[in-house]
Each structure stands twice: as structure tokens, then as C-alpha cells.
Structure 1
């Protein structure tokens, strides 16, 4: 029964690995012909990962593919520009496919794999949904890490601006004043998002790194704003 259901879902959703630069995606038949170089099903021993989630022979759920990045998993191009509506649909599709609730009657091995898949899908969705985390992840795929905290050297003018905003927020005595600061930060984040998008399009990763670091500062202020806001009664 599950095998038929899964096959119908795959046909409807087109769940197959999306191509990423430098990596050739194999069909089930091609994967089978790879022989010993392909991963084998833990349940029946068949070579190849089939559709990337289930064995193409016995339909047993396979462990997550360690070579697959978040963009490929969520069927997105490896780009800063992401269609968030399509991303949400993909997230819902995958969770319907691998969520632990659907594996309560399966083997313990598949239950464990389902937990791992579901966690991975959640992490991928959250990472690619937000511009800041998406940009940081994209840099990471290019071998560039943004230091945590304030390790990245920023110009004194920007740091002075951040200091002034923090002081203004600390001194804010009304919800209206806090909301005004929040609007300012949102506008700055929008500007940074547009700028980092252009930087990625031009493969200017150093510029992208600089802008994303600024976005981290603004994000920290956004967290302080949440704490500062007067709770509604």
C-alpha cells in the first residue's frame, strides 16, 4: 500500500534531485549501472538511491544523502534569489513524504531515517527562507565563513551608526518610539538584501560577506526590539 502511495506522490510532485553545479544527477537506471560506486539499499542491497529518498526496488526509506546541499534538497537553484512560495510548497511536500507520523508502522530503521530527513528538511527550509541565513549558507558553499560576533572588521562609520541606534533603542520610552526604530532597521535590511543579491549575481563574494555582516548587526538589533516591545494586553 505504501509503495503505491509513494509512487503516486513522486509522480505528482516530481521529487528528484535538482541539478547543482559540478554534480551530475543520475536517473535510477543510470545509478544502477554505476555498480559498486553507488550507495546500496540497507534493506534489499540494490545499488543506487533511486529517487533520493526511497529504494527504487523495495521502496524502503534510505538515509539522507550526505552530498546533497539545502538548495538541491529544496529543489532551488543555487542562488541568493529564491522563490519563497515554491520553497514553502516544496517544504510541505517533503514533510508529507518523510514526516515521522507516516512511519509509525514501519521498521525502526526507517523511523530513525524519517526523523533525520524531517529535521534536515526543517533546517533547510528555515535556512533558505531568511535572506541572512540563506546568504551565509551560500557563502559557506563557496568556502567562505563569516566570523561570529564582531570578529569581522567593519568601518568605524558603520559601527558608530550601530552604536547610535542601540543607544536610541535603550532610551526609547514608548512603543511608538520602538516601532519607529524597527521601521528604520527593516528599511536598512531591505537595502542590504538588495545589495547582497547584486553582489552574488556578480560573484563578488567579498562584498557579499561585508553586507551580510552588516545584516547580522541589524539582526541583533531586531532581536533587542522584540524584547523591548511592550506586550499587548
Structure 2
């Protein structure tokens, strides 16, 4: 028999939306973790410990998904039966791909922290613009537009990772 988890909130129907109140999300996450964290189940029967570990992991994954605009958008598409192609994006605009290639080259050539910081700021600004555009596309119910924009966000997320790697001292 699985343990009963006391529900600290009144359960509401949550609509699917790209827009997330991060403060409310963080509050909800912390409340759920206080209920489910495995440290609180150490002295409990094994079945309850297992329940805690599984559900705590699910809460962590859900939180990471909802907190990240890219992951959140991809999840919303997946719920609608739409997935981005793996590998090369055959639908990407050639101008956009050229811009990404140029940014990759600039990043490779960036030999100073200032240039890397400049690239990081530019990428963050682009991600902010794309996030807002994706939000508007979801608000309109235009899932194909959201898909195209999320594919672009994926490219910029890869660039963000490269910037982070470049900033790590060798």
C-alpha cells in the first residue's frame, strides 16, 4: 500500500500555457519537495522510501522542464503530438543557419573574456526575444510557428553551452 501524501494546496485545474509564474512555480516546487524529499522518509518502510524517491525525482524533472523556456515549449509541443526533428533542421531558414555558423566562428575566434561576454549577452538577448515570440505563438495556438521558433532556441541553447565551456578555465 502506497503512503498517502497530504495535499497542502487546493488542487486547481491548470491550463496548458507557455507562460509560467516562476515565483509561484518555485513556491510549489519547494512545498512538494518538503512533502516528498527522501530525507524525510529514511525511517519509514521501504515502500514509502521508494515512493518518495520516485515522486521526488518526478517533481525535480517537472520543475526543470517548466523552468526552462526551451524544455517547457518542447514539452507543450510533445503534448500536442508535435516533435522537433532530431539532428539537422531541414526547415531552418538558410539566413538563420548562416547567422548561427557565423556566431560559432566568432565564438571559436574569441580570445578574450570581453568578446566571450559580449557573445553571451547577445545570445541571452536573442533567447529572450525568441522566448517572447514563442509565448505569443502558443497564445495564438500557432503550434507550427512555436515549433520553428523552438528549433531556433535550440541552436541558441547550443551556443550558450559553447560560451559556458569557453568560459571554464582550462
Q: Normalising to structure 2: TM-score of the pair?
A: 0.92
Q: Does 1:101 align with 2:96?
A: no
Q: Normalising to structure 1: TM-score of the pair?
A: 0.68
Q: How far apart in 1 are the matches of 2:20 and 2:87? A: 27
Higher-helix-fraction structure? 2
Structure number with the bigger relative contact order (C-alpha 8 A, sep ≥ 6) is 2
Aligned equivalent of 2:102, options 164, 173, 177? 164
RMSD across aligned positions (CA): 1.6
Residue 163 to residue 78, structure 1, CA distance change in 2 (3 Å):
same
Q: How far apart in 2 are the matches of 1:150 and 1:103? A: 45
Q: Does 1:149 align with 2:87?
A: yes
Pairwise CA distance, 1:107? 1.5
Q: How far apart in 2 are the matches of 1:151 and 1:107? A: 49
Q: What do residues 66-111 of structure 1 show as CA deviations (whole Å, max 9, x unaligned)?
A: xxxxxxxxxx531000000000010000001011111112221111
Specify the SS of the correspondent of 1:224: helix
Q: Does 1:79 align with 2:74?
A: no
Pairwise CA distance, 1:152? 4.3
Pairwise CA distance, 1:183? 0.9
Pairwise CA distance, 1:146? 1.2
The residue number in structure 2 matching 1:117 is 55
Q: How far apart in 2 are the matches of 1:149 and 1:92? A: 36
Pairwise CA distance, 1:130? 0.8
Unaligned runs of 5+ in 1: 20-75
Question: Between Structure 1 and Structure 2, how many residues are aligned?
Answer: 166
Unaligned runs of 5+ in 2: none
> 1:178-193 counterparts in 2 under 5 A?
178-193=116-131
